[in-house]
Amino acid sequence: MASTRKDPVLVVLQLSGANDYLNTVIPFTDPLYRDYRPNLGLPEDQIIPFTDDLAFHPSMGPVKDVWEQGKMAIIHGIGYENSSRSHFRSMDIWHTCEPDKVGTEGWLGRVIRDLDPAGENVLKGVNFGQGLPRAMALRGVPVTSVSDLASYGVLTDVPAIGGGEERERMLELFSRVYSPAIGNGPVMDYLGQTGRDALKGADIIKTAPEQYSSTVEYADNPIAKSLKSVAQVHLANLGTQIFYTQYGSFDTHFNQLPAHAKLWVDVSGAVNDFFADLREHDAADNVVMLVFTEFGRRVQDNGTGCDHGRGGVAFAIGDRVNPGMYGEYPSLKAEDLIEGDLAPGYDFRGFYSTFAERWLGLDATPIVGGKFEQLDFLPTH
């Protein structure tokens, strides 16, 4: 890469399905916690206290390490007014920053457009997962979505095509049948250009795993695999500034105790391995991770799980993060709950704005659709 300055990189990790705030960052000294969670209250001898009043879920040992290293900010009571209890609606609101209407533009789509107005790098934004999250969708902004880095590309899963040479011949043929000479009208030309760009993008991104080597051994689960792919692409210096990935389902209506524990084992381990990997390659200092979920879960458990709620918890993780806790843990008192849910005290669009403005150096107002309170977990740009 020609640039000597390291561009800031944002990695977004979405916890899909609504992560349970109360059992993630546990207000273990509050007697109301035990009252509300007769079946789901986590035993005091298993939780991991990190302040006098708060503890992490027993599965979050690696997160506690990150906290102790001073590389993590906890954002309490995040959400928005009139919070929707629908996963789809709420996730849509988080993706588009449009709480009052159905939005079409993703906030990260706008971020990517502002980072690369000419759309020169199709790898400016990369999603790991199937399909494109609405957060990255914006007409005219190319984003690359990779379901599996190892098999990404054109004609990769056609068993009839033999190995090596035959595949190479096929790709050359593909490139030629998408060449301008064969074009016939604007739509055909557009298709041709798109096909050749896709081939080129795939060629570039496929080099990432080939260049990669690391002593970090990621666990065998989907989020570890996704974050390893993020690390591989980041380390290949392809100019990607926005990474997106998700894990779930955190929708623990039933049997929450084992399910939630497994999810946090996976997430904690993967996040910790990811940053260790970057540090090993001296590539961590320009990376910050945003961890969010669409809403928290009901305060009162339902026997074996808990149902959809409101206010949740978000995290910012990275070497340049000003560590600490931001915002207030919402009150558990019955009179302060909204229909049995924690009342969100901080608007998520302020959280986004902090990343957009202080980390990426962009004007956050048009990105999140207004001015919202930013927090000091990132230094002013």
Partner 1 sequence: MLTTVAAGRVYDFSHCMGMYSTSGIGFLVPQDFALGSADTLYVLNRGVDEITMRISKCTLNHEFIADIGRAGTGDGQFVWPTSLDLDREENIYVSDENLNRITVMDKDGQFLTKWGAPGSADGELNRPSGIAFDSADNLYVVDSLNNRVQQFTKDGQFLGGWGSAGSGPGQFNQPWGICLDQQGNVYVADWKNDRVQKFSAEGEFLGQFGETPGGVGGLRRPTGVAVDSDGDVYVADWGNHEVKIYEPDGKFIASLVGDAEQPSPWVQDYINANPDVAKARRRTNMEVEWRFRRPIAVNLDAQDRLFVAEAVRHRIQIYTKERNYAEAALNL
Partner 2 sequence: MPSQEDIALMAHLMRRAGFGASRAELEERAAKGYEATVEELLNPGPEPGIDEDELIRYFPQFESSLAPVAAQTEWVYRMINTRWPLQEKMALFWHQLFATGNSKVDNPPELLQQIAMFRREGLTTFPNLLVQLAQNPAMIYWLDNNGNHYGSINENWGRELLELFSMGVGHYSEDDIKEASRAFTGWTIGTKPPRQPVGRFYWSFEFKPEDHDYGEKQFLGHSGNFDGGDIIDIVVKEEDTARFLARHLYNFFVADEPQVPAWNITPPNDLDAIDRLVQAYLDSGADIRSILRALFNSDFFKQARFAHVKSPAELVVSTARLAGNYNGPRTGFPLLAFECGWQGQELMNPPSVESWHTGSEWIDGGALVRRVNFAAKLLSDTSLPGIKAIVAGLKEQGTLSPNEFVNACLDLAGPVEVDEGTHQELLAQAQAGGDITWDSEEAAAESERRTGVMLAMIAATREFQFA
Verify binding: residue 155, partner 2, rule CB under 8 A: yes
Report the C-alpha gap between 130 and 13 in whole angstroms: 15
Least separation in angstroms between CB 185 and partner 1? 44
Verify binding: residue 1, partner 2, rule CB under 8 A: no
Verify binding: residue 18, partner 2, rule CB under 8 A: no
Q: From the list partner 2, partner 1, none, which binds 303 (C-beta under 5 to 8 Å, kind-based)?
A: partner 1
Closer CB to partner 2, 248 or 350, in the complex: 248
Closer CB to partner 2, 201 or 344, in the complex: 201
3-state secondary structure of 270: helix
Q: 3-state DSSP: the chain helix, strand, coil percent, rounded to 5?
A: 40, 15, 45
102-131 residues in contact with partner 2 (CB under 8 A) are: 102-104, 122, 130-131
Verify binding: residue 204, partner 2, rule CB under 8 A: no
**123 in Cβ contact with 144 (< 8 Å):** yes
Among 39, 46, 194, 255, binds partner 2 (CB under 8 A): 194
Stretch in the footprint of partner 2 (CB under 8 A) among 176-184, 217-225, 239-247, 368-376: 176-184
Number of Cβ atoms within 10 Å of the Cβ of 301:
22
Continuous H helices in 250-310: 256-280
Report the C-alpha gap between 296 and 313 in whole angstroms: 7
For the chain, count helices (H), then strands (E): 10, 12
Verify binding: residue 262, partner 2, rule CB under 8 A: no
Q: From the list partner 2, partner 1, none, which binds 266 (C-beta under 5 to 8 Å, kind-based)?
A: none
Q: What residue has token string 């998700």?
A: 246
129-148 residues in contact with partner 2 (CB under 8 A) are: 130-132, 134, 137, 139, 142-145, 147
Q: List residues near partner 1 by CB under 8 A.
A: 85, 253-255, 298, 300-304, 306-307, 339-340
Q: From the list partner 2, partner 1, none, which binds 339 (C-beta under 5 to 8 Å, kind-based)?
A: partner 1
Verify binding: residue 237, partner 2, rule CB under 8 A: no
Tokens found for residue 100: 């009052």
SS3 for 203-241 is HHHHHHHHHCCCCCCCCCCHHHHHHHHHHHHHHCCCCCC
Report the C-alpha gap between 62 and 48 in whole angstroms: 11
Q: From the list partner 1, partner 2, none, which binds 298 (C-beta under 5 to 8 Å, kind-based)?
A: partner 1
Closer CB to partner 2, 1 or 155, in the complex: 155
Q: Which residues pair with 314 in a beta bridge?
A: 75
Least separation in angstroms between CB 190 and partner 2? 5
3-state secondary structure of 274: helix
Tokens found for residue 156: 């990769």
Q: Note the residue count of the chain.
A: 381
User: What's at 115, amino acid-wise?
Assistant: L
Residues near partner 2, by CB under 8 A:
86-89, 92, 102-104, 122, 130-132, 134, 137, 139, 142-145, 147, 153-161, 166, 169-170, 173-174, 176-179, 181-182, 184, 186-188, 190-192, 194-195, 197-198, 201-202
